[in-house]
Amino acid sequence: MTTEVTEPKPLVRAEGVRKSFGNNEVLKGIDLDVRRGEVVCIIGASGSGKSTFLRCVNHLEKIDGGLLRVEDRVVGYRLKGHKLHEQSHNEICADRSDIGMVFQHFNLFPHMTVLENLMEAPLRVLKQRKDEVRGRALGLLEKVGLAEKAQAYPRHLSGGQQQRVAIARALCMEPKLMLFDEPTSALDPELVGEVLRVMKDLARTGMTMIVVTHEMGFARDVADRVVFMHGGRVLEEGPAEAVINHPQNERTRAFLSAVL
């Protein structure tokens, strides 16, 4: 007698996701699953819808069609029967606390020290004990190589250091999913490597990550899967080595020949 092995449900599931800004349809029916512990890199030219899709995953943008689920919960909505009802602000914030996001620009609070930046959300949103949060924050700063900067203010840090603080701040919420929106695009070239090293270390811990990036070397070395978007659609996806080294779609080939 054989037992059937069922695939675990994906942590993230997008089904026919659409998003428009006015008359401009930016996402034209995105279907994408991300498994728990998987690193997925989304590549494509500017304007292809990559960042918009990422912002939809944690409801920073409302979708106009389809469904987005994280941990089998519909993002931003409650499903009653066959009807979607938008969640309250507090409900959305509670769900969003499970999703860490790192932006192109670091968005640190300039009037707070590095340590205070990390501690703010766990204290205010999760209502956790101060000594517990402080210990976790200091441990994360050590992991990203910035233990000595705990009392510094963001203005005294380089761009690469600020982005590493932003990653540590997101991790301090103990998220189940990390989203990265071109985290190195605002950095000087010599600072890119220090941020990518932190992201590689994070991937090794088994964190589920969706990364919008132009760093093809990172995508090839770290991603389990690469997704190529063009014109608001997913045109190709597969193992990183296959998509980057042996793309099947003509537009994927054209994009990679331009950036590599």
Mind listing the pLDDT tens digit for each residue in 88-129?
888 888 788 899 999 999 899 999 999 999 999 999 999 999
**Pairing relationship of beta strands 225-230 and 39-43 according to DSSP bridges:** parallel
The span from the CA of 9 to the CA of 39, in Å, is 16
Mind listing the pLDDT tens digit for each residue in 20-55?
999 999 999 999 999 999 999 999 999 999 999 999
Question: What are residue 128's DSSP bridge partners?
Answer: none
H or E element: which one contains 199?
helix 189-204
Task: Determine contact, residues 182/104, Cβ cutoff 8 Å.
Answer: yes
Closest CA to 67 of 87, 231, 48, 78: 78
Task: Determine contact, residues 127/94, Cβ cutoff 8 Å.
Answer: no
Would you state the structure tokens that stand for residue 19, as one six-digit string? Answer: 């998003």
> Residue 85 — very low, low, confident or very high, per pLDDT cuts 50/70/90?
confident
φ/ψ of residue 83, rounded to 5: -115, 140
pTM of whole model > 0.85?
A: yes
Identify the pLDDT of residue 3. 53
Identify the pLDDT of residue 165. 97
